Structure 1
Amino acid sequence: MTIPAIGAGTFRLQGQAAFDSVRNALEAGYRAIDTAQIYGNEAEVGQAVAQSGVARKDLFLTTKVWNENFVKDRFIASLEESLEKLGTDYVDLALIHWPLSPVPVEEYMVALAEARERGLARRIGISNFNIEYTKRAIAVVGAAQIATNQIELSPHLQNRKLVEFLQGQGIHVTSYMTLGYGKVLADPVIGAIAARHRATPAQVALAWAMQLGYSVIPSSTKRENLASNLLATGLQLGAEDMAQIAALERNGRLVNPEGLAPAWD
């Protein structure tokens, strides 16, 4: 069971907006939905899934365990609470949300592996891990057990050193913030490529990431944007396009919470 190339993200979506976004995404044809405990929208995601009529076996649901739940007596219980909110017996992918915590990597990775063994998650992985923390996670569960590292990655933040390491370990890369809070959409190079292909800038950025082998999880509250983004799966960029986007690297990191984020590579 591979991780879908494109899914619908739900970061910063609350209440009715989260419900509507997931409902619209599923109606548009998305079959992967990404959420997290800290987003506070697992219940709305679950309600939208339940009302969609899409069979559970056809969906790929991801959630992330928040750092306050890393302690041994909370980890499994918190994931069970997530499943109850989502209205499912399992998630397809459970991730550690951020690596920094008073709880050692070695302890919370054991708990994550236990969650998989109990059938709460079909796959497990990590999010926002740098090379050092990924190595520590690998030492606990083995690289083959880490389905993905979900990281901020866009044309303005290409994370080449980390990506090279992950790919060398056989760990799939999932890109979030691929559109850079909209900053990537305003990039004139992206705009010119989009014009040549009669595509949108968002489609270009998403296609770029997918052609590099990454999964993407863009979010939107607008039905038309969700549908448009999904069309990126059919956009084929040429070698010149890819080279021009590769030159846009500027270490444009947008997400770096103190106390949670590691020292980036």
Structure 2
Amino acid sequence: MSRENASTDAQTTPTTASADLTNAEAVRLLQGADSGVRPQSGRLAYRFVKRTFDIVASGSAIVVLAIPSAVLSAVIVAKSPGAGPFYSQARVGRVNQDGTYKIFRMWKFRSMVPDADERLAELKYMNEADGPLFKIKDDPRIIPGVGKFIRRHSIDELPQLLNVFVGDMSLIGPRPGLPCEIAQYDERAKRRLTVKAGCGGVWQAGERSDSSFIGMVDADLDYVENCSAGYDLRLVLGTIRSMFHGGGAY
């Protein structure tokens, strides 16, 4: 499916009825609810290769990055007294077999002050993203110095290798949305949920945070339609390149 056709085959603009939902309220709304879509089935050989690669690659990376992660954790604690180095957040992954939403805890290195979630409502007027997304280039909640650096290079995302290892996520796939974002999805955007969420993907290997919501959905649905082992490998390399470059991330 081309991105041009993807943009016009159905409306992508999410509803606004749930725009003011908090994440906790959205979790209660989505738990047990039928999403209206079903996970991709079939292609067993591809899914086996993908899962095997996820386990081997994430497990190896966790071992290699153990000491650097410990050092970074110490720096984060020093820069943000009273807060732990890790931060977890409810996210929505690939829907369950019966179409209900799969909600799991996604892990990150802490890049924001401990009360970042509580301050979200007061900063919504500064939102620079469209659709249900929330992005601020100069977010005042970011821990000075280390927080901005690890976000620019997506180092804060590395603990998600644990999510990959246990099977909540894959190395490559659509990024898992916040429940309050998913609650605003229309039927077309929900098709992002038919494959396993990923640490990186088409969006991260390309425009990253510079993309629009529609652009993100177009890119992810292109992946859903055309995913393959070769495509995944190219996106792994592209995501790593984007991490080093640091462009488009905030």
Question: Which category of TM-score, normalised to the shorter sequence, fits these structures?
Answer: under 0.3
- TM value normalised by structure 1: 0.24
Larger strand proportion, structure 1 or 2?
1
